[in-house]
Structures are given as structure tokens and as C-alpha cells.
Structure 1
Amino acid sequence: MTSRSWLAPMRARDTTENHRVATPLELFFDLCFVVAVAQAATPLHHAIAEGHIWHGVEGYLQVFFAVWWAWMNFTWFASAYDTDDDVYRITTLVQIGGALVLAAGVADAFDANNYTAITIGYVIMRLAMVAQWIRAARGDRERRTTAIYYAVGIVVVQILWLLRLALPEDLLTPAFAALVVCELLVPVLAERSPGGSTAPHPHHIAERYGLFTIIMLGESVSAATIAIRTGLDTGEHEAGLVSVAAAGLVIVFGLWWLYFDRSAHSLIRTLHNSELWGYGHYFIFAAAAAVGAGIAVEVEYESHHAEISGTVAAYAVAVPVAVYLLVVWLLHIRPHQRGPFIAAYPFVAVLTLLAPLGPAPVFVIAALMVLLVTATVVVGRRVPDAIAQ
């Protein structure tokens, strides 16, 4: 049981704790972050439909990194130190507020390349984590050095993010890439500090990532539904839009099925594996949310409102689906599988990328999802689990 006093000692939780599940606060935290994800996916959809593909993709990946990284740091910290007391809840509220500030600045970032509001929102979220790590340093003597590494590293990088706002526009993207590397290095260095590694709960982390994957896929369904509703309001192309909606639903459901086919907690046992698994989910989350933007682009093409070709519109769906399949295969499926079936996921990913070159690409992609799910159920589960052996 966690303490709910005003300021309980923040000690590391037991990694073998039974029945460790996501808390109501964590679920609320995730739902608030979806606002920022939706704000990033909508401009991506419009940018691709208007032919500004690179601008849309670049802006989306940058905004999504800010959302994902703040979410990921909170998730792993909460798995190790969640006290669920009043100060912890208020600090989490500050992080949520930062996410909303970030979401409010997405339009300026896409339209005017102005990252001021996004940066401020991001820094608010990250400095709230500094407060959490300082509490951990006070309460967990064994890992005090690790917590201090985290706190100092986060503060230094946030100062650099603020200084980035003063750079000329042509240096913003290179500076962003450099600061992403700095952010990723903070946990890598902190977890290898003399204080030792923190202790996240494998089952809890796997559940938290699974829930966020569901939310990202749900965001895809929501984005596609809004786009289809808008198209149907015109009273034209109804049959085509309904069929795109059906194909999109099959695709998203297939992506959900494939992610949850194998349990992930056994993959989060060592520090190295945890880092690869945790960092790699950036691509799963970003691709899952981008599928909805791609379906929305396909809707605009079907209703003759897009300024791009049918092939480009189809690739707006095919690329995130292929990325999702490849990364899920690398992180979730490949460690469990052996034998010829191990090649099924990359093979279907390649076919997905070829689908836009032929007729009815979205329906072909949906059919490929059905085939891969069927093969996973009929063949994949008959292969002995390599981890369990």
C-alpha cells in the first residue's frame, strides 16, 4: 500500500510486488497527454493532404518526441517510486499542465515554426520531474547518487532547450537532434552511476506501455472518425468513405492484436534490454498515432479535397503501418520467436510498403493485417516460446 500522507518518504518500491497495476492517476495522466498527441496528429494530416509532406513529418516527430519523452520519464519514475501522496499528485498535476501548454503551442510550431510555447510546456513537465527526483534522492539513500544524476542532467538539458529558442531558424533542427541525444543520455548515464539502477516493476511497465499503445491506436480511430464525418457531411462519395472507414478499422484492430499477442514483461529484466525496449516504443507510439492521420489523408483523397496523388495518400497509411510492424517485431515478437515464422512480420511490412503502387492500397493493407493476424494465431503460437525455453 502506498502512503497518502502529505509528504511520505519516497523509497523505491518492490519490483516483485504482486498485483501492481496502473493507478487512476496514471490513467488520468495518459488521457491528458492524448490532447497533445491529437494536436500533433491533426497538422500532420493537413500538411500531407496539402503536399507539405516533409514539413508535416518533421514537425510531427519533433512534437511527438516532447510528448513521448515526458510521458516515458514519468512512467518509469512512477514504477519505481510512486508514493501517491499529496505532493506527488500535485507535482503530477504540474506535469499535466505543462502538457496542455505544449499542446496549445503546436499550431504555432507547424504554422510559423515558433517553438516557444512548446518549449515552455516541455520545460514545465521536465522540471516537475526534477522535483520528483530530488524527493527520491532524499528518501532513497541507496540510490541517492542516481537520483541526483537524473535531477542535474534534466536541469542542464532544459537550460539548453531554452537557449535553443534564441538560435536562427536554420539551426533549430540540428539543435533539436543534438538535444534529443542529450535527453536520451541522461537516463543512460544516471542508471550506470555509482548509485546503481532504479527498480521499475516489469509487469507494471509492460501494462503502462500497453495502455498507452491502446490510447495511441484509439487516437487513430478518433482522428479517422472525425475526418470521415466531415467527408460525409458533404453528402458525396459516401460509399467510398464508408469502405475506407471499414478498412481503417480492420488495420487498427490488426495492429492492436499483433502488439498484444505476446507478453512483454519478460523483456524488461536487464538494464540494456529495458533501454532498447523503452526507447524503441517511440516509433510504435508515433506510428500508431500517425496511422489515424494517414487514414484521414485517404479520406480527403477519396472526397477529392487532397492536393496529392492517390499513391502519396496511400503511403500516408502504409508508412506508419510498416514502421509499427517492424518495431513491434523487433521489440516484442523476435525475442519470443524462432524458425521460419520469424520473417512473417518484416515480409508483411515490405508488402505494405508496396501496396500503394497497386490498386485499392488501403484495402490491400487491411487484407495483409488479416493475413498476418491469422498466421500469428494459427502458426505463430505453435512455435515454442524462445524466452520460455
Structure 2
Amino acid sequence: MSTDTTVSPERGVSGADEREQAVTPLELFFDLVFVFAFTQVSSYLAHHLTWGGLARGAALLAVLWWAWVCYSWLTGAVDAEARLPARLVVLAAMAAMLLVALAVPDAFGDDAVLFGFAYVVVRLLHLALYTVVAPPETRSAVRRVAPGFLGGPALLVVAGFLDGPVQAALWGLAIAIDYGIVLVRGVDGFHVRAGHFVERHRLIMIIALGESLIAIGVGAEDLVLDLGVVLTALLGIVLVMAFWWLYFDYVVLAAEQRLAAEPPTGRAVLARDSYSYLHLPIVGSIIFVALGIEQTIAHAGDPLGVVPAVALCGGCGLYLFGHSAFKYRDHGTASVLRVVVGVVAVASVSVVVRIPAAASLASLTALFVGLVVYETVWSEHRNRLRVGDAKSS
């Protein structure tokens, strides 16, 4: 992470050049392992359609998300691709992350120890590279948060040797420590290039949305592609399109402008809150909705079970609540309409468990398409922002 004025010694570029740096091929390559990891979480949820399975799936997602977050800050601070040792460390972390993803289906069972040890390696490599290549003030910041960044993952190793409530408690404590250390000890000394940082999160959103498309294919697997399956699949992709539109049409533009306008110290805090923290429910909601879409396509004529219904409807609501929290943290305001639509989506669970799954998906899709149309045509704030963006370009 770099400020607009901080110059990385190894790169020797100006602040303006840093702002314009594109996401590197190495970062894109590294993100590919998270495509697989998110798919593994969706598969885990599909095979554990219980409340416990839903909670464990959420815990897995939280752990995977924080690993990605840590590397997004790191690769925003230094050009790891330009330095051979740094490149090798990132590739090694990618290999370790693959082992983490492979262990996801049995991360609370036979592969729990493998999951924990591989995850610790991912996080150790992150801290080691940060310590070596970051500027002095960032190295000091890394040392300040290192106890939490190592202590949380270490608890996952311990949890791997246990089971039941003790294992669950250790997972909860590990996540709380890992996420909480940067809240308690702060992010002074870390730096953020606004354009690069926002672009990284745009790309991970695309990955999450892509998981929903994969879910459509998984749900239709081994089914005859009759008219009902085709129409249900089309409903699923239209809902995913609405999700894309609601994030990328103007929300992300306003957020990037807000982040870029912050001074260096405030920018790091805003980046932590708006992106590292508040993008978790946004990304997580997409994974849960993907589960709901998969189950809908597989059982289009029957009502969804309670857990898939909560995943679908609750995921739709959580997506909009996450947007609203994101906007409130950035601008001090929230979209009342999005909150209301989110509440309607969550409340629809009681209906969804009683009607055919395809009809439920159609209703939610119509609700979100209606929200997109209203905001696109009548939202004064959206249109004002888009006009301003066009003039500036």
C-alpha cells in the first residue's frame, strides 16, 4: 500500500505514477486460486445444508477473505512482480493457498490440520515479504500487527486437532483476533494507492460474481435442458447481472473518489473499514446467493428448504445491507431504497419455503431488476455522479 506521495525505493517512481499503476499480471494470477477457493466454499455449503454448515461455510469464507485482503494490501505497497525474490514468495503463497482450498471440503474434519498448517504458511509468507520489501514505517506497522496476524492462524492449527464446540470456539477466536488486531492497533504506517486498491476489489467482486455463474452450471449438471431449466438458468444470470449493475454502475465510482480524497492516514483507515471489513458481507452474500441459485435450478419445481431459502433471500438482503454500510462509512448516508429492498428480500423467506423455487427466484430477480431500473432512470445522485465522471474523463 502506498500513498500518493510515498515513493517505493525499489521502484523509484513518482506519486502520480503510483496512482496510475495497473493491477499486475502476478496479482491477477494470484487471484485465480481464490476462484477455486470460493468454489470450494460453495461446494461445502451445498453438501452441508444445515445451520451448522451455514455457519462453518461463513467461517471458511471469512478466513479465505482475510488471506486475500492481506495480500491485496501487500501487492499494493510494492511491485512484487518486478523483484524476483518477491515474485517467488507470492507464487509460493499461491501454492500454499491451493492446499488451503483443497482442504476446504473437510476443513473441520480429516483435513483440518492440513488446512491450518497451509493457512499459516500463506500468512507467514505474507509477513515475511512485507517485512523485507516494505518501507521502514510500514515494516514497523507490520511488526505491530504481527502477533494477531500469526496468533489467529496458529489457533486454526490447534483447532485442527480438536472437534465439536471447542473447535468451533477456537475458530471464532482465531477470526476475532485476526480481524481485530488492525482495529485495536490501527493501520498507521500502511499506505494505500486509491486507484489500485479499488481496482483490486473490483476484480475480486468479479471473481465472486463468477462463482454465481459457476453455480448455475453446477445446478444444471445432469439435468435435461428443457424449457424450465433454461428459463430458471436465465433468471439466475439476470439476478447476477443485477448484482453487478448495483455495484459497478456508480457505487464503486463514488467510493473511489472518496478514498482518493482522503489524506494518507485517513485513507488507510477508510480502506480498512470500507474494503477490508465491509466488502466481506458483500462478497459473502454473493456466495450464499450462488448456493440458493444452484439449489433452485436443481429443484426448480419444489420449494426450497429452509437453509437454501435463507441463503438465497438472506444473501440478497445482505448484499444490499453491505452496500448501505459501505456507503454510510464512505459518505455518512445510506440508500433507504436499498435497505427497504433488502428487508423485503429477507422477509420473503417465509414465502419462498412455500412456493416453487423457480417462482421464488423469479420474484427476487424482478425485485432486483426493478431496483436497478429505478436507480438507473430516476436516481438523481447516480445520474449526477455519472455526468461528473464523464466530464472528468
- TM (norm. structure 1) is 0.84
Q: Is the 8 A contact 2:103 2:115 kept in 1?
A: yes
Q: How far has the Cα of 1:93 moved from its partner?
A: 0.9
| Alignment check: 8 A CA contact 1:224 1:296 kept | yes
Q: CA deviation at 1:128?
A: 0.7
Counterpart mapping for 1:317-356 below 5 A: 317-332=312-327, 335=330, 342-356=335-349
**Percent of aligned positions that are identical:** 26
- The amino acid across from 1:201 in the alignment is R
Aligned to 2:23: 22
- Structure-1 residue corresponding to 2:57: 60
Alignment match, 1:282:
280
What residue number does 2:270 align with?
A: 273
User: Secondary structure of the equivalent of 2:299?
Assistant: helix
Instruction: Count how many residue pairs are aligned between Structure 1 and Structure 2.
Output: 360
| Contact 1:130/1:150 (8 A) holds in 2 | no
Could you tell me which amino acid in structure 2 is paired with residue 365 of structure 1? Answer: L
Query: Comparing 361-370 with 56-65, which one deviates more in the overlay?
Result: 56-65
Q: In 1, distance between residues paired with 2:380 and 2:73? A: 30
Q: What is the Cα deviation at residue 352 of structure 1?
A: 1.4
Cα distance, 1:191–1:374 mapped onto 2, change above 3 Å: same
Q: Deviations over 1:282-333 (max 9, x none)?
A: 11111112222111111222266xxx74665443321111111110122147
**Whole-angstrom CA distance in 2 between matches of 1:355 and 1:243:** 21
SS of the aligned residue for 2:144 comes to helix
User: What TM-score results when the alignment is normalised by the length of structure 2?
Assistant: 0.83
SS in 1 for 2:21: coil
| Aligned alpha-carbon RMSD (Å) | 2.7
The Cα shift of 1:199 comes to 0.9
Q: Which amino acid aligns with 2:335?
A: I
Deviates more, 1:212-221 or 1:290-299: 290-299
Q: Distance in 2 between matches of 1:73 and 1:109?
A: 21
Q: Which residue of 2 aligns with 1:199?
A: 191
Residues 99 and 183 of structure 1: CA distance in aligned 2, closer, same or farther (over 3 Å): same
Spell out the pairing of 1:1-389 with structure 2 (5 A cutoff): 16=16, 17-48=18-49, 53-84=50-81, 85-109=83-107, 112=109, 114-136=111-133, 140-189=135-184, 191-192=186-187, 196-232=188-224, 238-262=226-250, 263=253, 264-268=255-259, 269=262, 270=266, 271-277=268-274, 278-302=276-300, 309=304, 313-332=308-327, 335=330, 342-356=335-349, 357=351, 359=355, 360-382=359-381
Instruction: Flag structure 2 segments of 5+ consecutive residues without an equivalent.
Output: 1-7, 389-393
* Per-residue deviation, 1:375: 1.2
Assess, with a 3 A threshold, how the Cα gap between structure 1 residues 172 and 76 changes in structure 2: closer, same or farther: same
> CA offset at residue 13 of structure 1?
7.7
Partner residue of 1:3? Answer: none
The alpha carbon displacement at 1:213 in A equals 0.4
Q: Is the 8 A contact 2:212 2:289 kept in 1?
A: yes
For residues 72-104 of structure 1, what are the alpha-carbon distances to aligned partners after superposition, in whole Å with 9 as ceiling and x for unaligned? 000011112234211111111111111111111
Deviation at 1:107, TM superposition (A): 2.1
Q: Deviations over 1:21-45 (max 9, x none)?
A: 2110111111121111111101212
| Pair 1:334–1:364, CA change in 2 (3 A) | farther
Q: Distance in 2 between matches of 1:13 and 1:187?
A: 28
Any gaps of 5 or more consecutive residues in structure 1? 1-7
Contact in 2 for aligned 1:15/1:202 (Cα 8 Å): no
Specify whether residues 143 and 375 from structure 1 end up closer, same or farther in structure 2 by C-alpha distance, changes over 3 A only.
same
1:35-56 deviations in whole A, cap 9, x for unaligned? 11111101212322xxxx2132
Q: Distance in 2 between matches of 1:58 and 1:155?
A: 23
Check whether the contact 1:247–1:366 (CA below 8 A) recurs between aligned residues: yes
Cα distance change of structure 1 residues 301 and 71 upon mapping to structure 2, 3 Å threshold: same
Per the alignment, do residues 44 and 87 of structure 1 end up closer, same or farther by CA in structure 2, a change over 3 Å counting?
same
* In structure 1, C-alpha distance between the alignment counterparts of 2:196 and 2:114, rounded to whole Å: 33
Distance 1:178 1:302 in 2: 39
